[in-house]
Amino acid sequence: THCGGLTAARRIAALADAHRLALAPHNPQGPVSTAASLEFGFSQPSYIICETVHADVPWRQDVVREGFVVEPRGRIVRPNTQPGLGIEIDEAEVKKHPFQQEMLQRVFYSDGSVGDW
């Protein structure tokens, strides 16, 4: 995560809740990160929205099965009903889509924080 992991995210969520602010984390990563973000979000009273990427590659549905349900109308997400993060990765299908490196565009400040990229 950009904030330092789930422990740091929990601290940020506690601050948001204490000041009655909404929490809307940025999540441009893949299905594992999305599942973790959603599980985290369902545990936080100030969490109002989760950015997700569902159409990143045309073969995504072949590779991963997600335990949570996204209702088409209103894009409402229902909690995971499976154990753990509730996702299953089809390893055989993953092998059909080898990794391709992309150039990451990130700005790191001198204090270690991440700038807008």
pLDDT tens, residue by residue, 13-31:
999 999 999 988 878 778 8
What domain count does the chain have? 1
Structural domain contains residue 63: yes
Q: How many residues are given for the chain?
A: 117
Structural domain contains residue 108: no
Rounded to whole angstroms, how far apart are CA atoms 41 and 39? 5
Q: How confident is the model at residue 117 (pLDDT cuts 50, 70, 90)?
A: low
Domain containing 79 equals 6-95
Report the predicted TM-score, pTM, of the whole model to 2 decimal places: 0.74
Q: Residue 77 — φ and ψ, nearest 5°?
A: -105, 130
Structural domain contains residue 103: no
Rounded percentage of the chain residues whose pLDDT exceeds 70: 96
Q: What is the CATH number of the domain that holds 90?
A: 3.20.20.120
The residue type found at 96 is K
Structural domain contains residue 53: yes
Q: Find the angle CA(116)-CA(60)-CA(26) to the nearest 5 degrees.
A: 20
Structural domain contains residue 107: no
Higher pLDDT pick, 41 / 29: 41
Query: How many other CB atoms sit within 10 Å of the CB of residue 38?
Result: 24
Higher pLDDT pick, 26 / 85: 85
- Cα–Cα distances in angstroms (integers) from residue 83 to residues 2, 39, 63, 116, in the given order: 26, 11, 19, 35
Structural domain contains residue 32: yes
